[in-house]
Structure 1
């Protein structure tokens, strides 16, 4: 697993526990966006031979979206508007122009998003166990998938240009550390 350079804030899990309905709505939007992101990667020439893998990720993300929508319905939580994540916005603003550079940057960014999801879902699986077994099990069941998506995106980037990917991963790990230290009072996964 990825060695992040900054830990998740100690106040993140208590904020999540206190705002589970908002977190579930945010999670639904993140799964929808993850599906769209996988499909959008198919526009890059360097990824034309990976379309089947990207479709499989998109389908899995849409299945996760539906699972979260089902949880919302079951719990009587209305699906509402998304709030932009400062952390994800910060990662996306660093994506460079140019087909190959853009593809690598998107892949590295998406790898980090999936890696943070894997990490946070592990926290939720453990941290929610005493208050909401259903959600703890749900998040525990998503950990492996997020880890696989992280690895897949990183391997795709390295297949395009390993040296450039390593350089950009170093850049993005520094950026992630900077962004994750910024306070965010809106309850969200990222």
Structure 2
């Protein structure tokens, strides 16, 4: 059994996130574990795709492929693990209507370079940070032991992925510029999550 759901059990100290996840989201996620698991699989697949897309967008950027190729492989390994767990429950991957989270964040990415590169790194990093926060909550509160174990096992990777995107940004744009823009985007990211999506999703 997971720990009882109370606001005291929510992590309020996740660095770079402007606001912690709400108790309402956690309640929704715990009550709908399979839907969240299926959505999680899609998130892992999309995260791998984003890393690959960045490598194609900036094919000659020094150090980028070396950082993002292993990240993409790891995201696909996570995707495969989640798919396996879904199948073990007698279910299969299916399409789910996406919440506005990803599209709304993508709109914040500026079009011109080098701003586009900076924002792409930071938006990807914020998504990883939010994933880490929410998986940490599910690792504690999920009612099934195998789900708690899954989310526990993935925590270190999610934190490392945020650090990769952070480092890519800081190395190219400096700490001051990176921190300033990340704080701006973090406020937007939190604002997107203020209205709970009616269907449970990893980022709703």
What is the TM-score when the length of structure 2 is the normalising length? 0.87
> 2:132 aligned with 1:82, yes or no?
no
Kindly indicate whether the alpha-carbon contact (under 8 Å) linking 1:5 and 1:173 is maintained by their aligned counterparts in 2.
Answer: yes
In structure 2, C-alpha distance between the alignment counterparts of 1:124 and 1:46, rounded to whole Å: 39
In structure 1, C-alpha distance between the alignment counterparts of 2:40 and 2:115, rounded to whole Å: 29
> 2:114 aligned with 1:100, yes or no?
yes
Kindly indicate whether the alpha-carbon contact (under 8 Å) linking 2:25 and 2:196 is maintained by their aligned counterparts in 1.
Answer: no
Structure 2: which 5+ runs fail to align? 1-13
In structure 2, C-alpha distance between the alignment counterparts of 1:127 and 1:71, rounded to whole Å: 18
> 2:145 aligned with 1:133, yes or no?
yes
> 2:29 aligned with 1:16, yes or no?
yes
Q: Could you tell me which residue of structure 1 aligns to residue 168 of structure 2? A: 156
Larger helix share, 1 or 2: 1
Kindly indicate whether the alpha-carbon contact (under 8 Å) linking 2:83 and 2:92 is maintained by their aligned counterparts in 1.
Answer: no
* 1:45 CA drift (Å): 5.9
* 1:112 CA drift (Å): 0.4
* 1:19 CA drift (Å): 1.1
Counterpart of 1:171 (choices 184, 187, 204) is 184
In structure 2, C-alpha distance between the alignment counterparts of 1:46 and 1:176, rounded to whole Å: 30
Structure 1: which 5+ runs fail to align? none
> 2:80 aligned with 1:69, yes or no?
no
Kindly indicate whether the alpha-carbon contact (under 8 Å) linking 2:59 and 2:65 is maintained by their aligned counterparts in 1.
Answer: no
Q: CA RMSD in A?
A: 1.4
SS of the aligned residue for 2:63 comes to: helix
* 1:160 CA drift (Å): 1.3
Q: Could you tell me which residue of structure 2 aligns to residue 114 of structure 1? A: 128
In structure 1, C-alpha distance between the alignment counterparts of 2:59 and 2:198, rounded to whole Å: 39
Give the paired residue count: 188
Structure 1 moving runs of 4+ over 6 Å: none
Q: Could you tell me which residue of structure 1 aligns to residue 9 of structure 2? A: none
